[in-house]
Amino acid sequence: MSGNTFGHLFAVTNFGESHGPAIGCVIDGCPPGMDLTEADIQGDLDRRRPGTSKFVTQRNEPDAVQILSGVYQGKTTGTPIALLIQNTDQRSKDYGNILETFRPGHADYTYFQKYGIRDPRGGGRSSARLTAPMVAAGAVAKKWLKEHYGTAFRGCMTQVGELPVGFESWDHVPNNPFFAPVADVSALEEYMEALRKGGDSCGARIRVVASGVPVGLGEPLFDKMDADIAYAMMGINAVKGVEIGAGFASIAQRGSVHGDSLTPVGFASNNAGGVLGGISTGQDLEVSIAIKPTSSILTPRDSIDVEGNPTAVVTKGRHDPCVGIRATPIAEAMLALVVMDHVLRHRAQCGDVHTSLKAIPASAS
Amino acid sequence: MSGNTFGHLFAVTNFGESHGPAIGCVIDGCPPGMDLTEADIQGDLDRRRPGTSKFVTQRNEPDAVQILSGVYQGKTTGTPIALLIQNTDQRSKDYGNILETFRPGHADYTYFQKYGIRDPRGGGRSSARLTAPMVAAGAVAKKWLKEHYGTAFRGCMTQVGELPVGFESWDHVPNNPFFAPVADVSALEEYMEALRKGGDSCGARIRVVASGVPVGLGEPLFDKMDADIAYAMMGINAVKGVEIGAGFASIAQRGSVHGDSLTPVGFASNNAGGVLGGISTGQDLEVSIAIKPTSSILTPRDSIDVEGNPTAVVTKGRHDPCVGIRATPIAEAMLALVVMDHVLRHRAQCGDVHTSLKAIPASAS
Amino acid sequence: MSGNTFGHLFAVTNFGESHGPAIGCVIDGCPPGMDLTEADIQGDLDRRRPGTSKFVTQRNEPDAVQILSGVYQGKTTGTPIALLIQNTDQRSKDYGNILETFRPGHADYTYFQKYGIRDPRGGGRSSARLTAPMVAAGAVAKKWLKEHYGTAFRGCMTQVGELPVGFESWDHVPNNPFFAPVADVSALEEYMEALRKGGDSCGARIRVVASGVPVGLGEPLFDKMDADIAYAMMGINAVKGVEIGAGFASIAQRGSVHGDSLTPVGFASNNAGGVLGGISTGQDLEVSIAIKPTSSILTPRDSIDVEGNPTAVVTKGRHDPCVGIRATPIAEAMLALVVMDHVLRHRAQCGDVHTSLKAIPASAS
Amino acid sequence: MSGNTFGHLFAVTNFGESHGPAIGCVIDGCPPGMDLTEADIQGDLDRRRPGTSKFVTQRNEPDAVQILSGVYQGKTTGTPIALLIQNTDQRSKDYGNILETFRPGHADYTYFQKYGIRDPRGGGRSSARLTAPMVAAGAVAKKWLKEHYGTAFRGCMTQVGELPVGFESWDHVPNNPFFAPVADVSALEEYMEALRKGGDSCGARIRVVASGVPVGLGEPLFDKMDADIAYAMMGINAVKGVEIGAGFASIAQRGSVHGDSLTPVGFASNNAGGVLGGISTGQDLEVSIAIKPTSSILTPRDSIDVEGNPTAVVTKGRHDPCVGIRATPIAEAMLALVVMDHVLRHRAQCGDVHTSLKAIPASAS
């Protein structure tokens, strides 16, 4: 209830602060009998790890995950899976100059207002570092979904600042530090280099897609598949907007264009983004998110201190100039957690999950 | 868990179908001691009522609300408030021609896949009619929030199809059937008239604003204020996108611009839309949503029947050509329900709710 | 969260007061496709109905249930089932003399302390009348469980006041107003008659049994089958104690006696009451509850008024001299709701539900 | 939902197995600003620790607790408090002879049926060792309640096997290994010694009391204070019965005796056990529980193996001959967690918590 557990039936309780001894999560509700080792989880953690290129924070964390419970002889037992990640490089001293000052666009102001506590250590609990345990939990969900339904989750960067990235192929995504689906990222590198030198930051747009999603997932009124996706995505640090399918472009569409025709071999288009009436159609789930520019920048900003006096603030810590760069595996993980939770919810009430259709193919794509 | 309850501490359980005998909801968790009568609720219900202009569905429903419980001698008792709305004009025969056919862009396909049940009566549970009980529940939340913190909720249409509406004043909103914040709506009328004659539909953009929101509301990691708003908004029928504050425009902003400066008299701007790190800043909550065009249109569409055979479908029922027109009071209600829930959650853990700041004013605006 | 919803996946939200216009509930999570009419529910409601003998309250309520939603063409659709029961005989005037006085042993004192509201109408929300919607919801769960697993729920009175009832056969239970499993209830009648004439009340012990329960239901640490049963039973009005299996008698048992031996054809005894480690064994669930004497009696009692002044109180309303007499169908219903919820929870995580064993028979009984 | 989280607003998620690397819990919802160190928690952990006398398991665990998160500079921050306890003495080899056999009265049978997984390491997740993190979490709740309302939690053994313990004074409880409230425990020692030599086990009755409980806590219909207590207590390993106040003795009481008279200075008795209508009266919460004999005994028992073949089983591991001996601090902790959760729930809806009465004193005792 205090906002640290994600999901209902595949429930992930997250704990830790960026500068405490460790972070982690407890997954409750994982079906028993799945093969699981740390290696199954480490891959996605490495994808979001800091320190991997000069365009992301230089904090150096191995982010090695340890399974504390819920797995016996290499198989999930159905009991809680506790995952622990030690913090090894928490240089709190870098934050010395912002101890008494609020950063514009940062959560330190609202945390102080809510709890009456000032925890200046790199954002404490509001740090994007806390997405690491979610990526770990998402890896468990991804594995189960892939084994059971062949569901796959992919993401890529589609815009950075005012620069559109374009889409060539999913194959390029792992070959560059931006998760860009293009072969040549030199323009991106130049853009980010100029930004970094200027001591400023920019936003990004990320696209996430789930394919092989069973049909019929999602609840009718409130825990709709798209509502839960919006909740999951907007909850990622720095996200300010979420679209499903045609998204904001659907405003200007006519109903005769927007509604995806059904044919005997599947839908003819996917403006719906894989969701109708909150329930999955079996087509790809198509999600797009807007990520705001990082608030921790070298450019001096007007602000106030905890006493309310005017001051200027500069953040010297090791921060991402575009926090969106590392957001792709996070968004994939959150999407996987949403789908996983809805599979279990669907099983509870309806008893079976379809990957093929009862009457017609869900998708021709 | 089956997606018919909204909220956690101010929990609204919704029931009913568009063509059953009645719809309604049960509000659990309303604080005791507030004056409440049906008249306090009816006003907002009348704002979203069908049949009020030629631009919305001609279904004629009085939507008179009855309080069945939870109020004694005009005051809330703290026990569940059951609200009942009779369905009086459920002409199921209008739907005869779509009994065996799926409408492109409509939930009838996914409901059939999920539950294996075909309920063709006007969309049954997926009908926008089920937003009426939420508007009723939202009116209760609005009243309590206004009395305790002076919180106010307002909404308006900002775009219809490809036509931007502009913003002149909130004062115009109640004076036209579009909830448009402009004095002259003749362009809107012409646009809608052409659309209606063409048998087609279009989308809309709605803006919703909460002012006088206490600071410090929202949970740190998952039930963030903005995540819960995204969940609430994306769950409204036909919504395909949600933005908070600068939203998608923040992608192209620099961090030095996006981050709202703090001054001794409050924030200097509101790109954050009233939320930092998932917690309310005390500034206005600024939300914008994209609503897709109605799927039930007179224009013939390619589709399939329940056997999977190709067919064409035309929807002759009484439908809104732009479902976004009536969405404003719905979006206001959902936003009020989110804020109300977070006030109660904040009281539980932190014991007090601030409208003024501990250290500095939340907003100079 | 405010305590008016029972269950998680088969969730029943209860509303109403004993003297308001109506009471009822909303069932969320019922699987789709089950045949259901009002007649399926009315039978159990008639079993707990007041006014059926001179040993229970003379309030005369038909308690006719109306299905408002969730059923289409006689089948559950998977959407919320709203059930409504009109209050027709709410004679509030009977309570006139206790308007300003607290009854010893009654909830009117604690309700006043909690909510600051004085609702003297027959106990308002604390009335046992609110068990009627639970009996209705339980009837839906019973029907589904019977059709899917052959699960059956039975209950009987085993003690009234200091008088043990004995057990001859389940067949006798429907043939007397006490739910007593004996052929001759004349001793019970005399006991109750003396009590009624004396203007006093007494307690009772009720036994409830579920047979044909699938094995493996219940969660490992907190939502254990027995913990949830204890929660359900202790939540019934006037219950002060709950036992599973050998219950309090197990204190004096040796481990070598208490532990039920396993044999190739099943367990040799059932001291466990059908639950080991919180998870159902497949044997009968055996539950026993203690019900305190009714607090509303004709015997004058010392008490205080709302101002704290000493006074005497006599309750003249139509009350049950032994509220336990009508508790049997209520306890059955609550047990059915617990089992139903756990079936759905088990399906979610483990995907299948066993009625027969994987390796050996669950029970030889 | 999978039964590893206790509580709603003060929510404790438990993880680990008795023979894995570590056990622990995450507390979500603790109010910010309370002083908290490991020392505040260790005291209660030491009270339930194994290996402290010859009458409990000889497993030697320091059970040193480590706070991983949620505390900064010695104060709770309002974010999740993760507590970790390393397992240091997990001698799995002791369990070698029961790898393929089910123990009568033990959860290994039902776990196998539920999950299809055989984890023979000392009961794995069903071990009473998993109560250690609950005792730790309970210590946090106790501290907060004591500081805010002066609430105190005490427990003692009142019966072991067929031997009643009697009650002399709470002062004796910490002075003997049985938590017995008597000065001379030689009879208890002899009883236990004979039992241990005989290779058998026995049950126990534990009494737990909370004093200084605010009035008005508990929800009206389902999350009643007594229902939640029953749920918490029945969920403790080996508990088979729960009573509140007069409990099963209330069956034979008359209403004129059972109902506690109210006087201007408080209640005249406490048959209610501190709860009326599910809501706390402000008097002491009085709870009594029945604990069954340990299932792991040296006496040979008839059983079956995982193939269903008949066999005999003897458990040679280090087990408690009366698991009830160490149950007192566990029951106290669970009661504290229930009260804590209800304080937060009450704050959410009603905004304030009373320790003194609005109108009259809650208790004269």
Among the partner-chain residues C347, C349, C351, the one whose CB lies closest to the CB of A29 is: C349
- Render D209-225 in DSSP notation, one character per residue: EEESPPBT-S-SSSS-H
Residue among A215, A230, A299 minimizing CB distance to B231: A230
Sheet of B65-67, strand order: B5-6, B11-16, B22-28, B81-86, B65-67
Query: What average pLDDT does this structure show over D310-333?
Result: 86
Between A327-350 and A225-234, two packed helices, what is the crossing angle to 10 degrees? 150
C327-350 and C132-149 helices, crossing angle to 10°: 50
What backbone torsions phi and psi does residue A194 show, to the nearest 5 degrees? -65, -40
CA angle A263, B97, B320 (to 5 degrees): 90
Q: Give the C-alpha separation, A61 to A303, whole Å.
A: 31
Tokens read off for D49: 């620790």
D90 or C193: which leads in pLDDT: C193
Whether pLDDT at A305 is above 80:
yes
- Cα torsion C327, C330, C334, C335 to 10°: value is 70
Nearest Cα to A78, choosing from A144, A147, A148, A150?
A: A144
Rounded Cα gap, residues A220 and B131, in angstroms: 12
Of chain D, the end-to-end C-alpha distance in Å amounts to 40
Distances (CA, A) of C28 to A198, B2, B21, B313, C14: 56, 6, 18, 33, 11
What ipTM describes this predicted complex?
0.95
Using alpha carbons, select from D274, D277, D169 the residue that is nearest to residue D221: D277
Q: What CA–CA distance (Å, rounded) separates B104 from B310?
A: 12
Please answer yes or no on whether C218 and D110 come within 8 Å at the CB atom.
yes
In chain A, what is the greatest distance between 2 CA atoms, to the nearest angstrom? Answer: 68
Residues on B contacting D at a C-beta cutoff of 8 Å:
1, 9, 29-32, 78-79, 220, 344-345, 347-351
For chain A, the average pLDDT equals: 90
Quick one: pLDDT at residue B283?
A: 95
Is C54 marked as a binding-site residue? yes
CB D213 within 8 A of CB D339: yes
- The amino acid present at D252, given as its one-letter code, is A
10 Å Cβ neighbour count for A278?
26
Quick: pLDDT tens for D161-217: 999 999 999 999 999 999 999 999 999 999 999 998 888 999 999 999 999 999 999
Chain B's closest residue to C69, CA to CA, is: B16
The total of other beta-carbon atoms located within 10 Å of residue D168's CB is 13
Q: What number of C-beta contacts closer than 8 Å exist between A and C?
A: 41
Counting beta carbons within 10 angstroms of the beta carbon of residue C196, is it exposed (0 to 12), middle (13 to 18) or buried (19 or more)?
A: middle
**Which amino acid is located at B224 in the chain?**
K
Give the integer Cα–Cα distance in Å for A119 and D281. Answer: 40
H-type alpha helices, chain C: 38-48, 108-115, 132-149, 186-197, 225-234, 255-258, 327-350
Convert the pLDDT of each residue in D332-345 to its tens digit.
Answer: 999 999 999 999 99
CB neighbour burial string for C311-332, b if at least 16 within 10 angstroms, e if fewer: eebebebbbbbbbbbbbbbbbb
Sheet holding A239-244, edge to edge: A163-164, A152-160, A204-211, A285-291, A239-244, B239-244, B285-291, B204-211, B152-160, B163-164
> In angstroms, what separates the C-alpha of C265 from chain A's closest C-alpha?
27
Contact yes or no for A33 and D116 at CB 8 A: yes
Nearest partner of D175 among D324, D53, D61, judged by Cα: D53
**Fold of the domain spanning D93-350:** Chorismate synthase, AroC fold (3.60.150)
Residues of B in contact with A216 (CB under 8 A): 110, 113-115
DSSP string of A146-158, one letter each residue: HHHH--EEEEEEE
How far, CA to CA in Å, does C207 sit from each of C65, C138, C179, D83, D230? 27, 17, 10, 41, 17
CB-facing half-sphere around the CA of A302: CA atoms within 13 A: 13
Q: Round to whole Å and give the CA distance between B198 and B133.
A: 32
Say yes or no for a CB contact (<8 Å) between C2 and B69.
no
> How far is residue D272's CA from residue C237's CA, in Å, rounded to a whole number?
13
Give the position of tokens 């058998």. D200
What number is the average pLDDT over the span C281-286? Answer: 96
B80 CB neighbours in chain C (<8 A) are: 2, 4, 13-16
Chain segment D74-85, per-residue pLDDT in tens: 999 999 999 999
Tokens in use for B354? 């601030």
D344/B345 CB distance under 8 A: no
Phi, psi of D170 (to 5 degrees): -60, -25
Residue ranges for chain B with pLDDT beneath 70: 51, 58-59, 90-99, 120-123, 317-319, 355-365
Cα of first residue to Cα of last residue in chain C, in angstroms, is 40
C219 confidence band (pLDDT: 50, 70, 90): very high
> Looking at chain A, which subunits does it touch, using at least 3 CB pairs closer than 8 Å as the criterion?
B, C, D
CB within 8 A of A39, min separation 6: which ones? none
Of B264, B277, B290, the CB nearest to A251: B290
Q: What are B95's two structure tokens?
A: 């739907």
List the single range of A81-90, B144-153, B276-285, D269-278 with lowest mean pLDDT. Answer: A81-90
Q: Are A322 and A227 in contact (CB under 8 A)?
A: no
Q: How far apart are CA D154 and CA C321, in angstroms?
A: 36
Nearest residue to C312 via CA among C298, C293, C330: C298
Q: Do D1 and A29 touch (CB under 8 A)?
A: yes
Contact D72 A5 (CB under 8 A): no
| Cβ atoms within 10 Å of B300's Cβ, excluding its own | 12
**Quick one: what percent of chain A has pLDDT higher than 90?**
70
Q: Using the 8-state DSSP alphabet, how is residue B324 labeled?
A: G
pLDDT of residue A122: 56
**Do D122 and D317 touch, CB atoms closer than 8 A?**
yes
- CA nearest to C118 within chain B: B77
Strand partners, A5: A13
Distance, C-alpha C224 to centroid of its chain: 19
Residue C72 parent element (H or E): strand C71-72
pLDDT band of residue D359 (cuts 50, 70, 90) is very low
State the amino acid at position C107 in one-letter form: A
Measuring CA to CA, which residue among A14, A16, A17 is closest to residue A25? A14
User: What is the C-alpha to C-alpha distance for residues D84 and D136, in angstroms, rounded to an integer?
Assistant: 10
pLDDT at C228: 98
Q: Which of C285, C131, C155 is nearest to C214 (CA)?
A: C285
User: Which DSSP state fits A31?
Assistant: P
- Among residues A134, A165, A170, A172, which one has the least CA distance to residue A153? A170
Burial class (CB in 10 A: 0-12, 13-18, 19+), B100: middle
Give the pLDDT mean for C79-108. 79
Which of A18, A10, A144 shows the shortest CA–CA distance to A85?
A18
Strand partners, A313: A301
- Give, in degrees to the nearest 5, the angle at Cα B65 between C125 and C42: 50
Question: pLDDT at position B241, please?
Answer: 98
Partners of B210 in the beta sheet?
B153, B285
What is the pLDDT at residue D301?
87
**Residues of B within the annotated binding site?**
48, 54, 125-127, 237-238, 277, 292-296, 318
- Return the pLDDT at A359: 41
Using CB atoms, pick whichever of B104, B107, B297 lies closest to residue A260: B104
Chain B residues near residue A268 by CB distance under 8 angstroms:
302
Q: Identify the chains in contact with D, defined as 3+ C-beta pairs within 8 A.
A: A, B, C
Distance (Å) from the alpha carbon of A142 to chain D's nearest alpha carbon: 20
B243-286 pLDDT per residue, tens: 999 999 999 999 999 999 999 888 999 999 999 999 999 999 99
Token digits for C136?
């209705």
- Looking at residues C98-116, what average pLDDT do you find? 85
User: What pLDDT shows up at residue C94?
Assistant: 53
Residues of D with CB under 8 A from a CB of A: 1-2, 4-5, 8-9, 11, 13-17, 20-24, 26, 28-29, 32-33, 68-70, 72, 75, 77-82, 114-117, 119, 121, 124-125
Looking at residue B251, its pLDDT comes to 97
Residue-wise pLDDT for A250-288, tens only, equals 999 999 999 999 998 889 999 999 999 999 999 999 999
Name the residue ranges covered by the structural domains of chain A.
Answer: 5-350
Q: Is D79 in contact with B220 (Cβ distance < 8 A)?
A: yes
Q: Could D348 and B1 be called an inter-chain contact, meaning their C-beta atoms sit closer than 8 Å?
A: no
What value does the mean pLDDT take over residues C130-135? 97
Which CATH number is associated with domain C5-350? 3.60.150.10
State which H helix or E strand residue D337 sits in.
helix D327-350
